[in-house]
Amino acid sequence: MSKERFVLQPSKEMQDGWVATDTENGIVLRFENHKFNDTVRCTPLLTDGREPTAIELATAIRELADWLREEHKDKVF
């Protein structure tokens, strides 16, 4: 069974919010429904004990945001 790289789940803490996770890079984006650009917050999960470089973090965030835009446009915009 393969694990999906990107996962989107309803937020348990934020009413009308979403939690998007990049399981490969350990990045979590939290945002309000239809307000991605105004409310997005990023949290790196230091799963391997190593902090990502700025380039690695920026690339992972962009890839996750691109996936959200392509697959879940109705929640982002």
pLDDT of residue 5: 94
pLDDT band per the 50, 70, 90 thresholds, residue 51: confident
Report the share of the chain in percent with pLDDT over 70: 94
Task: Quote the percentage of the chain above a pLDDT of 90.
Answer: 73
Q: Are 34 and 51 in contact (CB under 8 A)?
A: no
pTM of structure: 0.88
Average pLDDT in the chain: 91
DSSP 18-41: EEEEETTTTEEEEEETT-HHHH-E
What integer pLDDT is reported at residue 61 of this predicted model? Answer: 94
